[in-house]
Structure 1
Amino acid sequence: MARIVPIALPTPYPVGDVNVYFVDDEQPMLIDAGPPTQEAYSILKEQLQALGCPLEALKEIVVTHFHPDHVGLAQILAKEAAIPVRLHPLDLYTLRLSSEKAIGFFDGWDLPPGWDPSQFDTNHWIPARYRPSGVTFLPLEAGEVIDTGSLRFEVVAVPGHSLGHVALWEEKNRWLFTGDTVIPGLAPNPMIYHVEGERVPTLPMYLNSLSQLRRLDVETLYPGHGAPFADLAAELDATVDHYRQKALEVYAIMDRQGPSGLGLRQIAACLYPRQIESQPYMVLSKTLGCLDLLERAGLAQAAGGSRGRRIYRLAAEREGEPVDALNPLLCSD
Structure 2
Amino acid sequence: MSYTVERVTDHVYALLRWDETWQSYNNSYLIQDREQFILIDAGKAEHAQELGEALAQVGCPLEAIGLFIATHGHRDHIGGALGLPNADKFIHPLDLDLLQDDWRAQFRTDLTASSVTRHFDVHHLGDHTWGSIALYHRASRILFVGDHYCFFGDELPDEQVVACAVRMGDLLEPYRPEMSGEEQRTTRYELAAFNQELSDIARIPAAFLCTGHGVVLHGDIQSFLQRGASMDDNEVLSYVMR
**TM-score, normalised with respect to structure 2:** 0.69
Amino acid at match of 2:197: S
Unaligned runs of 5+ in 1: 97-121, 124-130, 247-281, 286-333
After superposition, the Cα gap between the structure-2 partners of 1:82 and 1:135, relative to the gap in structure 1 and judged at 3 Å, is farther
Compare the two structures and name the one with the higher strand fraction. Answer: 2
CA offsets, 1:245-277, max 9 Å, x none? Answer: 27xxxxxxxxxxxxxxxxxxxxxxxxxxxxxxx
Aligned to 1:178: 145
Q: Give 1 or 2: higher helix fraction.
A: 1
Which aligned runs of 4 or more in structure 1 are off by greater than 6 angstroms? 188-191
Name the counterpart of 2:228.
Answer: 239
Tell me the amino acid that sits aligned with residue 206 of structure 1. F
Higher relative CO (CA 8 A, sep ≥ 6), structure 1 or 2?
A: 2
Of 83, 90, 93, the match for 2:87: 83
Q: Residue 23 of structure 1: which of 8, 21, 31 is its match? A: 31
Letter of the structure 1 residue corresponding to residue 36 of structure 2: Q
> How far did residue 243 of structure 1 move?
2.8
The alpha-carbon deviation at position 163 of structure 1 amounts to 0.7
- 1:45-78: CA deviations, max 9, x gaps? 1122232221112101111011111112122x23
Letter in 1 for 2:208: T
Residues 173 and 239 of structure 1: CA distance in aligned 2, closer, same or farther (over 3 Å):
same
Q: Which residue in the other structure is 1:92 paired with?
A: 96
Query: What one-letter code is carried by the residue in structure 2 that aligns with 1:225?
Result: H
Q: Distance in 1 between matches of 2:116 and 2:207?
A: 20
Relative distance call for 1:83 and 1:156 in structure 2 (3 A) is: same
Matches within 5 A, 1:28-177: 28-37=37-46, 40-75=47-82, 77-78=83-84, 81-93=85-97, 95-96=98-99, 135-141=105-111, 146=115, 152-177=119-144
CA contact (8 A) 1:144 1:154 kept: no
Deviation at residue 7 of structure 1 after TM alignment? 0.8
Q: Secondary structure at the match of 2:234?
A: helix
How far does residue 42 in structure 1 lie from its aligned partner after superposition?
2.5
Q: 1:212 to 1:193 in 2, by over 3 A?
A: farther
SS across alignment from 1:72: helix
Gaps of 5+ in 2: 1-8, 152-171, 236-240
The correspondence of residues 181-330 of structure 1 with structure 2, limited to 5 A, is: 181-184=148-151, 185=172, 192=184, 202-230=190-218, 231-240=220-229, 242-245=231-234
SS at match of 2:217: coil
Q: Distance in 2 between matches of 1:188 and 1:82?
A: 38
AA matched with 2:92: H
Distance in 2 of aligned mates of 1:234 and 1:46: 36
What root-mean-square deviation, in Å, do the aligned CA atoms of Structure 1 and Structure 2 show?
Answer: 3.4
Query: Contact conserved, 1:176 with 1:220, CA < 8 A, in 2?
Result: yes
- State the percentage of identical aligned residues: 28
Cα distance between partner residues in 2 of 1:140 and 1:11: 31
Closer, same or farther: CA 23–157 of 1 in aligned 2, 3 Å:
same
Contact 1:34 1:73 in 2 (8 A): yes
Relative distance call for 1:29 and 1:66 in structure 2 (3 A) is: same
CA contact (8 A) 1:166 1:178 kept: yes
User: What's the CA shift string for 1:10-56, capped at 9, x where partnerless?
Assistant: 3244351111101112211110001122xx22321112223222111
